[in-house]
Amino acid sequence: MSPAPAGATGETQPGWMVGIDIGGTFTDVTALEAGTGRMLISKVPSSSTDPSGAVIAGLRSLQDLQPDLALEDVRLFVHGTTVATNTLIEHKGANCGLLITRGFRAVYELRGGTRPSGSDLIDTFYVKAPTLVPQQLTAEIGGRMSSDGEELEALDEDAVRQAARKLRALGVESVAVCYLFSFMNPSHEQRTAEILLEEIPGCRVSLSSVVLPVIREYQRISTTVLDAYVGPVIEGYLRRLLGELREVGLRTEQVFIMQSNGGLMRIAAAAGFPNETILSGPAAGVIFASRIGQLSGEANVVSFDMGGTSTDISVMPGVAHQETRAGQVEGQDIGTPMIEIRTLGAGGGTIAWIGPDGLLKGGPRSAGAEPGPACYGQGGQEPTVTDANVVLGYLNSGQLAGGRLRIDPALSAEAILRVAEPLGMSVEDAARGIVDVVNVNMEVGLRLSLLERGLDHRKVALVAFGGAGPVHATRVAREVGIPRVLVPLHPGIGCAMGLLQTDVKHYYLQSRLSGLDTVDLGELHQLFEALEDRARAQAKEEGFDQADLQLHRQLELRYPYQGYELSVPCPPHLAGEADREAIRRSFDRRHHEVYGISAPEEIPQVVNARVVSVCNVPRLDLSPRPLAEPSAAHAVVSRRPVLFAETGGYVDTDIYDRSKLLPGNVIEGPAVVEQLDSTTVLLPGQRADVDSYGTLVVTVEA
C-alpha cells in the first residue's frame, strides 16, 4: 500500500511509532511520524511457520514506502500476535506436568460448570475439549489448606520430589501447580516451586497462586495449565523477535506487546505472562474502536470488526471496553481477565448453503484465504458472502484492494446459482438472501451482546472496520435500530492502529471470600497494599518511573451464592461503616447496569481484591483537520447498478473514492465509497458526514 494521507499526532518529540499486528492471513503495519503526522500503512503476508519473519518483513515494507525512515528513529514499537492461539490450534505447546491436591484427579478433566451449545446438548457423541496435560503427567500431592488458609495437613515434600523426578525423566519442561485454597495461602505452592527447581533445573513453573489467585479450582487449574503450556513457546518467540528487532536496527526501549486486557506490556516482561497475549490482536481492534468513538464524542460504542472468516463484536458502555473472566480459547477455559469479545462465524468468506431443513444458511464454514470466495478465481466453487456482495453491486466487480485482487462477477453468479437453483430463485434474490441471513446472524449476536451489558441500542454507535465491516454495518445498524455507524479512515488496519492507542496495564488479583458486612477492613487494606507492592515491583522491572504509575483499587463482589462477580472501585483508605455502605450501593448500581436488576436487601460478598496499574506511554493521537465544503461531487469516480432492499431492484449508484473525500463533505445514500482496504455501502435514506478526523459518520435513520 501507499503512504496514507491525514493523520497527525499530539506528540511533539520526533520519531516514528510503529504498530504491527499479525492476523490469520495478513500482517498489518502502521507507522506514524510524531510532529509531521506522516502516516504509513502496509500489509505483508503472515507466516505461521515464521511469525517473527513477517514482523521484520513488515518493518522493511515501511522502508520501501518511506526510504528515509530509519529504524533508529522508531521511538515506539507495539506488536499484536496470535502466537499463543496458534500454539493451541496446532497443539504445539510445551510438554507439561501438573501437580494437584491429593484426591482430586477428576477436577480438571470434568471441566465442571461448562455447558455445550446446540446439538451437543443431546448428542451422545459429544466430547469435551482434551486437557493440555494427560493424567500420566499429573501427580497428586498431599497437603491441605482450609477455606481460611489454615494448614490442615502439611505439604508432602517427598511426593513433590518424587513427582519432579518422574516428570524430569519424561522430558517435562514446564510444570503447572494448582492446590486447593492456594489463593488463601500460597505457601505449599511456593515450597513446591522451590523443590521443582531443585529437581528439574531450568524448568518453567506456573503457580496458580501467581497466575490466577482466585477462588474456583477448575478455572484456576485450566488457566494455570494454559500458562504452562503456551509459556515456553511465547517465551521463545518473544526472545527471538526481540533479537531480530535489534539486529535490523531497532534501538528504542519502548518495545511492547498488546495484551488481552487491552493494555500494553514490555515484550521483555511478557514471557512471564503468556496468558495475557491470547487475545492480543482482537483486543487492539477494540481499543481502536473505542478511540474512534471517543474522537467522535460518542457515549457508547460497539466495535464491529468483520474480516474474512468471522466478525468480532465488543460492546463498550461509556466507550470503555468490558472484561470477562470466563474466556475460552480453542476449548480451553481461561480465567485471566480479558476484553470481552463475541466472535460470530460470519465473514466475507462465509459459505452459504441449504440446510437439512431446506432453509438458506450462512456459515459457519468459510472459504478462508484459500481458496477464498469464488470471484477470486482461485478455485473456490461455493457461494460466499463476498460473492453475494459482488452480485449485488456492493463490491467493485473489477478489482479489490487497489487492484491486487481481480474479481470475476461471472464466477460469483455461477457459485450462487448452486443455491439459487434448488431454492427456485433468481441469482439476485439468492444473493440478497445470503446477505440477509448472514446479517441476521450478526444482528442476533449484536442484540444479545447489548442485552448482556444492559445497553439500549438507540444509545450506541457502531464502529465498523475490518475489510467487510463497512459493507454490512449500515444494514445491520438499520435492522437493530442503532442510529449511527462510524467508519474510520483506515478500516482495514484497525488492529494495527489500536496497538498505538493504549497504555501499559496490569491487573493484580487476590481472592478473599467474606461478607461485605463482616470483612475486616484492616486486613483488606493489607491485601491491597501487598498487591500494590507487586505492581510497583513490576513497574520497576519494566523500567517505569514510580511517578508514571497509577494504581486503582477495586473490589469484586457478588450477591450470596452467585456464580460470578462484578468489579466496583474501592476508595484508597477504608475508614469504616460509611465505606462499606458506599461500596454496597455502588455494587447494587453496577449489578443493575449490567443485568437490569439488583437485590439491595441482600448483603454482597467480597470475592476478590484487585489492583489495576497503568503506566502511560506515547500514543498515536489523530489531530482534527478543518472542514471543507459539503459537496462531495469531486470524489465521485463512477456509477454502477447496485441492488438495495429499499429500492427492490438495481439502481444506478454513485461510487466515491474515499481518498478524495475531505472533512466536511456530505454523501447522501444510496452510494458506495471505495478505498484500498474496504468498501462502505450507504443505503437509501442514509447520509454520511466526513468528520474532521476523516471518519465517515453515517446517520442510519436520516
Partner 1 sequence: MDPITLEVINNRLREIVATMEHLLFHSGYSTILRESFDGSAGLCDAEGRAVMALGAPYHLFPYHYSVEGVLRAHPVEEMEDGDSFVLTDPYWGGNLHVPDLVVVTPIFVDGSVIGFTVSIAHKTDVGGLVPGSSGAAAREIFHDGILLPAIRYWTRNGVVKDAELIVKRNSRSPDTVAGDIRAQVGCTRVGAERVVGLCDEYGVDTMVQAFAELQRLSELRVRRQLAEWPDGHSEAEAWVDHDGVDVDVPLRLHVAITKAGDEITFDYSGMPPQGKGAMNLRPPHAETAALLALLTYLDPTIPINDGAGQPLRFVNPEGTITNAQWPAAVNSYYGLTTVLYSAIQKALVRFNPDRAVGTVGFGTGAIAIGYRSAGKQLIQYEINTNSLGGTPEHDGTFPVMPMSHVTPYTPVEILESEFPVRVLRHEWIADTAGAGLYRGGPGARKEYQVLTDALFTLRAGHQFVYPGWGVLGGKGAPPARAFLNRGTDRERALGPLETLALQSGDTVTLETPGGGGYGDPRHRAPDVVRDDVLNGYVSPDGARADYGVVLDPDTLEVDQAATTALRDGD
Which residues lie near partner 1 (CB under 8 A)?
Answer: 103-107, 109-116, 118-128, 134-136, 146-147, 180-181, 215-218, 354, 356-361, 423, 432-433, 436-437, 440-441, 444, 447-448, 451-452, 513, 559, 561-564, 595-597, 599
DSSP letter for 152, please. Answer: E
Helix pair angle (409-423, 427-452), 10° resolution:
90
Compute the least distance from the CB of residue 128 to partner 1, in Å.
5
- d(CA 429, CA 314) in angstroms, rounded, equals 31
One-letter amino acid identity for 521? L
Residue nearer to partner 1 on the CB measure, 297 or 358: 358
Compute the least distance from the CB of residue 478 to partner 1, in Å.
13
Compute the least distance from the CB of residue 636 to partner 1, in Å.
33
Compute the least distance from the CB of residue 195 to partner 1, in Å.
23
Backbone φ and ψ for 614, nearest 5 degrees, come out as -130, 130
Residue nearer to partner 1 on the CB measure, 64 or 120: 120
One-letter amino acid identity for 164? A
Compute the least distance from the CB of residue 16 to partner 1, in Å.
46
Compute the least distance from the CB of residue 204 to partner 1, in Å.
23
Cβ neighbours of 156 (radius 10 Å)? 17
Sign of CA dihedral 450, 454, 458, 462: negative
Say if CB 587 and CB 568 are below 8 A apart: yes
> 405-444 as b/e, with b when 16 or more CB fall inside 10 Å?
bebebebbbbbbebbbeeeebebbebbbbbbbbbbebbbe
Q: Give the rounded distance of the alpha carbon of 583 from its chain centre.
A: 30
Q: How far is CA 156 from CA 103, 145, 146, 168, 354, in A?
A: 13, 13, 16, 19, 60
DSSP letter for 658, please. Answer: G
Compute the least distance from the CB of residue 610 to partner 1, in Å.
18
Residue nearer to partner 1 on the CB measure, 180 or 690: 180
Cβ neighbours of 448 (radius 10 Å)? 12
Compute the least distance from the CB of residue 360 to partner 1, in Å.
5
- d(CA 511, CA 209) in angstroms, rounded, equals 10
Residue nearer to partner 1 on the CB measure, 70 or 599: 599
| Alpha-helix runs per DSSP H in 156-207 | 157-169, 187-199
- d(CA 677, CA 400) in angstroms, rounded, equals 8
Residue nearer to partner 1 on the CB measure, 219 or 303: 219
Compute the least distance from the CB of residue 359 to partner 1, in Å.
4
- d(CA 134, CA 96) in angstroms, rounded, equals 9
Compute the least distance from the CB of residue 52 to partner 1, in Å.
36
- d(CA 63, CA 31) in angstroms, rounded, equals 10
Compute the least distance from the CB of residue 231 to partner 1, in Å.
24
Cβ neighbours of 518 (radius 10 Å)? 10
- d(CA 145, CA 158) in angstroms, rounded, equals 18
One-letter amino acid identity for 125? F
Residue nearer to partner 1 on the CB measure, 124 or 546: 124
Residue nearer to partner 1 on the CB measure, 135 or 638: 135
Residue nearer to partner 1 on the CB measure, 195 or 416: 416
Compute the least distance from the CB of residue 280 to partner 1, in Å.
29
Residue nearer to partner 1 on the CB measure, 106 or 575: 106
Residue nearer to partner 1 on the CB measure, 23 or 335: 335
- d(CA 231, CA 226) in angstroms, rounded, equals 8
Compute the least distance from the CB of residue 393 to partner 1, in Å.
19
> 670-697 as b/e, with b when 16 or more CB fall inside 10 Å?
bbbbbbbbbbbbbbeebebbbbbbbbbb
Residue nearer to partner 1 on the CB measure, 1 or 107: 107
Residue nearer to partner 1 on the CB measure, 123 or 198: 123
Residue nearer to partner 1 on the CB measure, 578 or 645: 645
490 Cβ neighbours under 8 A, 6+ residues apart: 4, 30, 41, 497, 677
